[in-house]
Amino acid sequence: MPHRLAVYPGTFDPVSNGHLDVIERGSQLFEQMVVSCAVNISKQPLFSLDERLEMLREVTASFPNVRVESFSGMVVDYVRALGGKVILRGLRTFSDYENEVQMAYANRTFAPEIETVFVCASLEESFISSRLIREAAALDGDISRFVPPSVADRLRAKAQKLKGDLKDHGKGR
């Protein structure tokens, strides 16, 4: 039986054009896609959960079969609760591959009925990471190539906080 629902989990801090590439391609592969913003206690995101959800909803509004939610806990438990069988993940680099395969094996151990499907990033988006985008924004770099315009505006608005975070990080060295 074909899988009709896929869950694309992530922190999305901020959502990038690379994320949108995976979302667009996933929306063409699956009847329904849930882009789910993770509450990750080991990370301190720049944007609040509500801000990340709002940005995701803005930039995915044109995809009729995509909805945006959030979750905490194990992703396989969340996918199960939705009645899904597929976790969608994007791959940019070989190091992504190593990390993602390790996570897929762990998820498979906890939930053998749930598959992880990998989508390779488009070449143009393969080097984009949320960390790179945050750092470039903090240094007044032109981030318009990496994120949708509404996200770029939000990043610029947080530029002062980003600059302070970078200064604080540099003091610890």
- Please give the positions annotated as active site: 19, 43, 92, 130
DSSP SS3 for 90: strand
* Best CA proximity match to 79, nearest among 59, 101, 107, 58: 107
Query: Cβ neighbours of residue 19 under 8 Å, at least 6 residues apart?
Result: 10, 12, 90
Cα–Cα distances in angstroms (integers) from residue 38 to residues 35, 41, 109, 172, in the given order: 10, 9, 20, 28
**Residue 98: is it exposed, middle or buried by C-beta count within 10 angstroms (0-12/13-18/19+)?**
exposed
The partner residues of 54 in beta bridges, in order of sequence, read none
Distance CA 134, CA 12 (A): 12
The partner residues of 7 in beta bridges, in order of sequence, read 34, 87
